[in-house]
Amino acid sequence: MRTHHRTRLLAAAFAALTLAGGIAGCSRADSGAAPAEQKSQGAAAEVRVGYFPNVTHAPALIGTKNGFFAKELGSTKLTTQTFNAGPEEVNALLGNSLDIAFIGSGPAINAFTKSKGAIQLVSGAVTGGAQLVVKPEIATPEQLTGKNIATPSLANTQDVALKKFVAEKKIPDVKVTNLDNPKTFDAFKKGELDGGWLPEPWSSRLVLDAGAKVLLDEKTLWPEGKFPTTVVIVRSEFLQQHPETVTAILKGELAAIEWAKTNPAEAKKVVNGELKALAGSTLSEAVLDRAFSGIELGIDPVASTFSQLAQDSVTAGVVKSAVDLKGFADFGPLNAVLEEQGKPGVNAPGLTK
């Protein structure tokens, strides 16, 4: 049986805690030592999985709603939680109230850093699907000077991307406001914001429902237009104790992705239904189509981008120095699943032990 425990936390408060390093109840992160190796204990009685009510988390939404996770988990109970942005989800992981998280690449790196290795990257989920959208009169990056631009949360993936962009372009006096995505939409419509660096479907909503225009699609900043918007991370202790449960979630994710690619129209309906259930509103067909056109579902985490992503946090002023990501990734369970299904494995240059 599967239960759904969905919570919405206060992003700003938890993000501040995360950035300060003051994660309550997390001795591993506070001790400065890597977690001790654990022995496998077989399948877990329960697995707690977190994700966002966003189009960019489609594999998690579909995997949960259509039972792909439950099918692979067998007798293991699935409990789900939803979050607005990465920092509060990191807090839940490091506070030991979450086992596996679909999350942005930036918070994933920060979680690994702050926990001294208590978090592992185990899979990708979605690439693409983030844009800087602004008022129509803003035609160039330089015209962002003095403007108020929103991101979903302090130190989340889009927050880092915006601050890095502003720093590299040397654009002065840009005010960055951290708001939940629905509040960003409302504030933009009221004229209280000049734009936002947002994930899907919110960039599409601002464009189609609130009159914004695209100033920059983030994919133009990356080789071949690929950057990891959503990845999957796991508490290292949980991975060591219950590797078969982690494998079951990865099998469910892969099944959800393959089903979505084979049944795109149905996948959109499922995602829209989950957005209604989790966030209280559905998307128009036009917004849904635009949002899906900007993303790609897949288990490849685009590992080659992570050294740059770590450096971006420095450029953005989120951290003081780039971190060594050696040991960040453990693609053993994922590659075992891929090999079993006759698919090519995932490489992790510089990320594995």
Which tokens belong to 310? 């770590």
Task: Measure the CA dihedral 330/327/199/135, to 10°.
Answer: -160
Query: Residue 320: what pLDDT?
Result: 84
pLDDT tens for the chain, 353 residues long, are: 444 444 443 333 333 333 333 333 333 333 344 555 778 899 999 999 999 999 999 999 999 999 999 999 999 999 999 998 888 999 999 999 999 999 999 999 989 988 989 999 999 999 999 999 999 999 999 999 999 999 999 988 999 999 999 999 999 999 999 999 999 999 999 999 999 999 999 999 999 999 999 999 999 999 999 999 999 999 999 999 999 999 999 999 999 999 999 999 999 999 999 999 998 889 999 999 999 999 999 999 999 999 999 999 999 988 888 788 999 999 999 999 999 999 999 988 889 87
> Which tokens sit at 335?
């590659």
β-sheet with 175-178: strand ranges across: 175-178, 148-151, 195-199, 130-134, 213-217
Distance of CA 131 to the CA centre of its chain: 15
Q: Whole-angstrom Cα distance, residue 350 to residue 299?
A: 18
**Which residues share a beta bridge with 269?**
none
Domain parsing of the chain, residue ranges: 46-127+228-341, 130-224
The number of CA neighbours under 13 Å toward the Cβ of 351 is 27
Taking alpha carbons only, the member of 331, 328, 334, 321 closest to residue 351 is 328
| Residue 240: its H or E element | helix 236-241
CATH superfamily of 130-224: Periplasmic binding protein-like II (3.40.190.10)
347 within 8 A of 48, measured Cβ to Cβ: no
According to CATH, what is the number of the domain 46-127+228-341?
3.40.190.10
* Domain 130-224 in the same topology as domain 46-127+228-341: yes
Return d(Cα 64, Cα 102) in angstroms, integer: 12
Residue 282: is it exposed, middle or buried by C-beta count within 10 angstroms (0-12/13-18/19+)?
A: middle
